Structure 1
Amino acid sequence: MKLVIDANIPAADACLGHLGEITCLPGREITPNDVKDADALIVRSITRVDAALLEGSALSFVGSCTIGVDHVDLDYLAARSIGFASAPGCNAEAVVDYVLASLLDASEREGGDALARTVGVVGVGSVGGRLVARLKALGLEVLACDSPRAAREGDDGFASLDEVIARCDVICLHTPLVRDGEHATRHLLDARRIEALKPGTLLISAGRGDCVDGGALYRRLKEKGDITAVLDVWENEPAIDAALRERAFLATPHIAGHSLDGKLRGTWMIQQALTKHLQAPCGPAFDAICPAPALASLHLQEALPVNDALRLCSTAVYDPRRDHDTLARETRRLGVAKGFDTCRANYPLRREFATLEVTLGPRAQALEGVLRGAGFKVECV
């Protein structure tokens, strides 16, 4: 069996090597000639999987180690009886970590209380649902906005997007990209809605870049400068808008979900799907491919102010400012598109909040609830 796999998918050999011959290639460079004799193709979101890539190939299975599937022509695969699996939820915890770290960073730099914000979460699926749960565990007021779910389940518990814009001072976007139809999300935040954002709003976009009208956001940031933008996803990746990047408070190269844990979880989920498709023996268990973290624990003996404690534990695991600075440096050095892709291809090791155990001494145990709510393991001693 021949498998063609994106070279940036971790643990491919460990998870899938028992199934046959593996060829690893850069995801943006996979060609029809590369897959014509392959039995399975395993990709990430940067590879467009459609007739142009697959026509005439012998593929029987395509796997995407990602949450989203808008880079895959599912109708084409179905029409040709090519099996497909993605990895929904594989990196959802990492994206929530990114959002919380960005919120804490922005609040600290603006001199505000991160836990005194009203947050609107737009798109309440694998990522958004987890984000809502963690924000509520931290005691924040949260408005959930998901128009497809509201249409199916009723409006109770859901706010409209315009209500979120009117009431919230933090807005987090986690919708899939839907280009057409009643619940289209392309330019969900269009010029009108961007203009309607309250002064002081923190916008965190870590879902799909095309859901925000980048030109309109740039104009708001340039002309008024009264909102704050954290942007991990962009229109026209990797050739992103350099001027918009310079105006963003945090600008990162589509890496919100790039924890080692999330990547390995995605590979492992595709291994499970492919072995089921082939009716073949499974490879190693997830715990066998996931290493111990370099920083396993912190010990707090005194009760710091809540925001300080959260920021300390958050930055011990992940600081998005590092990714912001790296993107700025690499785009200056290599140009926008190449610098963007270089950041992603050479992304450093990053773990999730849940890999850190925070040990609390008797005088620090008032922090237990908020640290546990943020996603850290907590032990009181």
Structure 2
Amino acid sequence: MRIVADENIPLLEPFFADIGEIRRVNGRQMTADDVRDADLLLVRSVTPVNEALLAGSRVRFVGTATIGTDHIDRVWLDGAGIRFSAAPGCNANSVVEYVVSTLSLYAERRGLTDWTDLSVGIVGAGNVGGRLGDTLTRLGFTVRLCDPPRAAREPDRAASFVALEDVLACDVVTLHTPLVRDGDHPTLKLLDAKALDGLHGGQLLINAGRGEVIDGEALGQRLAAPNPPLVALDVWEQEPRICPALVEQVWQATPHIAGYSLEGKVQGTEMIYQAACRFLGLPVRKQAGQFLPEPALSKLCFTGSADAPGALWTALRACYDPRQDDARLRRAMAGDTPDARGLAFDRLRKHYPVRREWSSVKIQLKGSSRALQDDFRALGFKLKT
């Protein structure tokens, strides 16, 4: 059996070597010739999977090691009798950690002694947005959720959701929707010029969902106008050839790595491995935990003099500080041509440093308050007793 896979999917050999012969391919440059003789195709979000790629091939199973599926023509796959599986929720924790770390930096910038004074509006309450909302609520933030498709599907929970206008009035607005181009609830350019004009300098806009959910041209114009909001972008229009001028305008710029924790990436591989085993009628023998190495940072200790949120912010940034990714992306934008910048963008993702999730770190608290303990638990850290 032949398996063609995006070269950036981690732990391909440990999970799939027993199933078949693996051929690694650059996901963004994958062609029909690359997959013609494949039985299984494993991709990430950079590979459009459709008739143009698969017509005439012998592929019978496609797995994407990502939560998003807008790069997959599922209607065509169904019609061609090709089984499909994604990895929903695999990197949800990682994206939540990215957003919460960004929130801590923003609260510090604003000089807040209590970051829960910020109201947070979440657009898209799926695996990522829903988990983010739960985490922030446990921490004590005021959270508003906007998700029209869920509100329509779950009328008994209609009171849990608000209109987009209500979310856009929050101190922080964070986007976690899939890219939907048509239908009753499209998200393509959901934040257009009108929506962006309503944002002001006392707000932070975060996009860690899909770049095209924001109208990039309109965003650039808004950021050049008086009293613009601060903006943190992890996803961009026209990746990997993103707009260098927009990188200069935003407050925080990162190269589509919010979900790039080691745990998130390995869980994505594990989920499509499990799906492939079910499709092939094979036993599931391997789990992600078998392959995770010991973290470089395993324990942090705080004394009774530690205060919240200072202790929380110290722990967050010890594990992951988005400013490092921001600096790397800004340096990468120094290329002279769009192609050079695009290659640099992809290199940042391909050679991304190992980043571990909060659950890999034990927190020891000596004489601390019960509230601080609860906050660390809400964030997913392990408390050392």
Pairwise TM-score range, normalised by the shorter structure: over 0.9
**Kept after mapping to 2: 8 A contact 1:145/1:159:** yes
Q: Residues 70-149 of structure 1 correspond to what in structure 2 (within 5 A)?
A: 70-112=70-112, 113-149=114-150
User: How far apart in 2 are the matches of 1:364 and 1:141?
Assistant: 22
How far is 1:31 from its partner?
Answer: 1.2
Q: Does residue 357 of structure 1 match 2:362? A: yes
For residue 330 of structure 1, report the CA deviation from its aligned partner: 1.6
- Output the CA distance in 2 between the equivalents of 1:331 and 1:45: 22
- Tell me which amino acid in the other structure corresponds to 2:373: E
User: Which secondary structure state, in structure 1, belongs to the residue aligned with residue 334 of structure 2?
Assistant: helix
Identity %: 46
Change (3 A) 1:191 1:133: same
Q: Which of 279, 286, 299 is the matching residue for 1:284?
A: 286
Counterpart of 2:255?
253
Question: Is the CA contact (8 Å cut-off) linking 1:165 and 1:198 kept in structure 2?
Answer: no
User: 2-side partners of 1:13 and 1:361: how far apart?
Assistant: 43
Say whether residues 1:156 and 2:154 are aligned partners: no
Q: Deviations over 1:54-99 (max 9, x none)?
A: 1110001000000000001101111110111000000000000000
* Distance across 2 between alignment mates of 1:318 and 1:285: 25
Q: Is the 8 A contact 2:306 2:368 kept in 1?
A: no
Residue 325 of structure 1 aligns with an amino acid whose one-letter code is: A
Task: Tell me the secondary structure at the aligned position of residue 221 of structure 1.
Answer: helix
**What is the aligned partner in structure 1 of residue 239 from structure 2?**
237
Q: 1:148 to 1:36 in 2, by over 3 A?
A: same
Tell me by how many angstroms 1:218 deviates: 1.2
Instruction: Write out per-residue CA displacement over residues 2-30 of structure 1, whole angstroms, 9 at most, x where no aligned residue.
Output: 00011111100000110010001111121
Question: Over aligned residues, Cα RMSD in angstroms?
Answer: 1.3
CA offsets, 1:250-306, max 9 Å, x none?
Answer: 100110000100000000000000010000232422211222211111111134231
Given that residues 164 and 171 in structure 1 are in contact (C-alpha distance below 8 angstroms), is that contact kept between their aligned partners in structure 2?
Answer: yes
The equivalent of 1:307 in structure 2 is: 309
Q: Distance in 1 between matches of 2:56 and 2:237?
A: 31
Determine whether 1:318 maps to 2:320.
yes
SS at match of 2:160: coil
Match of 1:32 in 2: 32
Runs of 4+ in structure 1 displaced over 2 angstroms? 302-305, 333-336, 363-366
AA aligned to 2:40 is A
- In structure 2, the partner of 1:329 is 331
Within-5 A mapping of 1:33-72: 33-72=33-72
**Cα offset, 1:214, TM superposition:** 1.1
| Partner residue, 1:199 | 201
Contact 2:181 2:188 in 1 (8 A): yes
Q: CA deviation at 1:226?
A: 3.0
Give the Cα–Cα distance (whole angstroms) in 2 for the partners of residues 117 and 170 of structure 1: 7
Q: What is the Cα deviation at residue 366 of structure 1?
A: 4.4
SS in 1 for 2:129: helix
Contact 1:170–1:202 under 8 Å retained in 2: yes
* Runs (5+) with no aligned partner, structure 2: none
Aligned partners of 1:102 and 1:247: how far apart in 2? 17
Alignment-derived partner of residue 220 in structure 1: 222
With structure 2 as the length reference, what TM-score do the two structures score?
0.96
SS class of match (1:177): coil
Greater CA drift, 190-199 or 206-215 = 190-199
Whichever residue aligns with residue 343 of structure 1, its letter is L
Aligned AA for 1:68? G
Aligned residues: 379
- 8 A Cα contact 1:300 1:364, kept in partner: no
Per-residue deviation, 1:374 = 2.0
